[in-house]
Amino acid sequence: MNNKEKKQKINRFKLITISIIAILIFLYLLYNIIELIKQPTDLIVVESGKISLEEDAVGYVIRDEIVISGENSSNGLVQIKTDGERVAKGESIFRYYNRNEDNLNNKIEELDIKIQEALEGQTNIYTNDIKILENQIEENLKQIRSTNDILKIREYKKNINNSITKKAQIIGDLSPSGSYVKQLIQQRSSYENQLNSGVEYIKATNSGIVSYRIDGLEDVFSVDNISNLNKEMLENLNLKTGQIVALSNEKGKIINNFYSYIATIMKSEIIKDKKIGDIVTLRLSSSAEVKGEIIDIKEQEDNTYLLIFKITKGVEELINYRKISIDVIWWSDNGLKIANSAIRYENNIPYVIKNMAGYEYKVYIKIISQNENYSIVNNYNKEEYKELGFSDEEINNMKKINLYDEILTNPNV
């Protein structure tokens, strides 16, 4: 074998060796990449945060409410107090139409036009009373132009008509054509008397919130009927979640604005640890969070639970609904927040791996609260370490977890 052949053989051997080494390196890197994907090791920062344990549910609204109506409900009602407005006991909240109301109102409007035309020619009569009335008319006209509230517009129009009538009465006494104006005013007063004589006003039986949303379930969902509620009865009502109760044209009701109840059916292990009087947080569909006191817990035949919560905030948000979506927040906690993936256990004692300038330290932590993904943690004190069986020397060398510390998530230790 000559030198050339020897060199070729050596080069082939080197090439094979290098190729084998490269393949081994590639396989090693590939293995580590796969392991990293399966269980990545990353640094995360300890932050101050909040965690909670919550479940979504459907709630049925139970109110302390009194339905009120009168003898002329078939005539249809006219709102005096708007839906959702607070009223005092004895205030008029709505009235029923007079049977001839439309006809009488048309006649009054025709007379108002005639009175206004008769007044237009009386430009030479000026008194302080007339000037005041004209200012009042102008002010009410401005208010009408600046609002979309139907009830307020009606009130401003009523004020304008009253001012025009008073103005006409004054001019009727002072002008040569006063007898004609007086005649129109007397005729108008006659129609108004007929209109008012057939009106039935309905007053508030107690203070609270006015509502005209009547669904016929006021007795079913009454405060006095809470003990009779069960899952089967609630589901058989076939109510739609989030549906707004329609306005009634015949009846109204007064709702107690100080408290309300929400009934819900749930299946949760945590309910077994709850008792009457416990306070939880309820998140309403508006995202508002209110405190709810558990006033009743009843296990159903299918191992679900009927819970009744009492709320004293957010009552007015619920007057339009009977069935709503809610979130039941069983608990929430604030503090040092870390991912559960960063927590390991040694002899049932939780710990994390803390990174300090490239050096790694084991830090034992006390878990205050924990949900599916995160934990709120703190440091053990000296006495707690002793109870866990650590010596004084070990305790003196213990590292602590602090805000903004870097820790390993999914550590391979």
Distance separating alpha carbons of residues 284 and 309, to the nearest angstrom: 13
User: Which domain covers residue 305, as residue numbers?
Assistant: 55-66+209-330
**Cβ contact 183:193 at 8 Å:** no
Q: Which residue has the tokens 């057939």?
A: 198
Confirm whether 74 is domain-assigned: no
Whether 372 and 386 map to the same domain: the answer is yes
CB of 393 within 8 A of CB of 356? no
Smallest CA-to-CA distance from 367 within 357, 377, 359 is with: 377
Q: What integer pLDDT is reported at residue 119 of this predicted model?
A: 66
Asked whether residue 86 is domain-assigned, the answer is no
In contact, 198 and 244? CB cutoff 8 Å: no
pLDDT at 125: 53
Q: Rounded to an integer, what distance in angstroms lies between the CA atom of residue 380 and that of residue 395?
A: 10
- Short-list 362, 332, 335, 334, CA closest to 350: 362
Note down pLDDT in tens along the chain; length 413 residues.
Answer: 555 565 666 667 667 777 778 787 777 777 656 554 544 458 889 999 999 999 999 999 999 999 999 888 888 888 989 999 999 999 999 988 777 767 777 777 777 777 777 666 555 555 676 677 778 878 878 877 787 776 677 777 777 777 777 776 666 665 555 567 777 777 777 777 776 666 788 999 999 999 999 999 999 999 999 999 999 999 999 999 999 999 999 999 999 999 999 999 999 889 999 999 999 999 998 889 999 999 999 999 899 999 999 999 999 999 999 999 999 999 999 999 999 999 999 999 999 999 988 889 999 999 999 999 999 999 999 999 999 999 999 999 999 999 999 999 875 55
In a domain, 78, yes or no: no
Per-residue HEC secondary structure of 115-177 comes to HHHHHHCCCCCCCHHHHHHHHHHHHHHHHHHCCCCHHHHHHHHHHHHHHHHHHHHHHHHHCCC
Claim to verify: residue 242 and residue 131 sit in the same structural domain: no
In a domain, 217, yes or no: yes
Domain-embedded: residue 91: no
Cα separation, 56 vs 282, in Å, equals 10
Are 347 and 358 found together in one domain?
Answer: yes
Query: Would you state the pLDDT for residue 71?
Result: 87
> With 0-12 CB in 10 A as exposed, 13-18 as middle and 19+ as buried, what is 143?
middle
Return all residues near 48 (Cβ < 8 A) that are at least 6 apart.
Answer: 334, 335, 336, 337, 403
Q: Which residue, chain included where needed, has tokens 């309905």?
A: 202
Per-residue model confidence (pLDDT) at position 41? 55
- Among candidate residues 169, 198, 227, the one where a domain is terminated: 198
Question: Which pLDDT score, from 0 to 100, does residue 383 have?
Answer: 94
Is 378 found in the same domain as 341?
Answer: yes
| pLDDT at res. 23 | 82
Q: Which of 141, 165, 198 is the last residue of a domain?
A: 198
Within a domain: 73: no
Is 218 in the same domain as 299? yes
Residue 375's nearest CA partner among 398, 352, 404 is 352
Q: Are 377 and 359 in contact (CB under 8 A)?
A: no
In a domain, 353, yes or no: yes
Clarify whether residues 213 and 326 are in a common domain. Answer: yes
Residues 355 and 265 in one domain: no
Sign of CA dihedral 125, 126, 132, 135: positive
Full 3-state SS string of 190-228? HHHHHHHHCCEEEECCCCEEEECECCCCCCCCEHHHHHH
Tell whether 138 and 181 lie within a shared domain.
yes
In this prediction, residue 288 carries a pLDDT of 92
Looking at the fold, whether 244 and 312 belong to one and the same domain comes out as: yes
- The number of helix segments (H) and strand segments (E) in the chain equals 8, 20
pLDDT at 37: 53
Same domain, 341 and 268: no
141 & 217 share domain? no
Residue 391 has a pLDDT of 93
CATH number of the domain where residue 394 is located: 2.40.420.20
Give the number of domains in the chain: 4
Is residue 302 in some structural domain? Answer: yes
What's the confidence (pLDDT) of residue 39? 47
Q: What is the pLDDT of residue 352?
A: 95
Token pair in block for residue 311: 């709320």
Q: Are 125 and 174 in contact (CB under 8 A)?
A: yes
Query: CA 15, CA 223: separation in Å to the nearest integer?
Result: 89
Instruction: State whether 105 and 217 are in the same domain.
Output: no
Contact 80, 92 (CB under 8 A): yes
Phi, psi of 332 (to 5 degrees): -145, 150
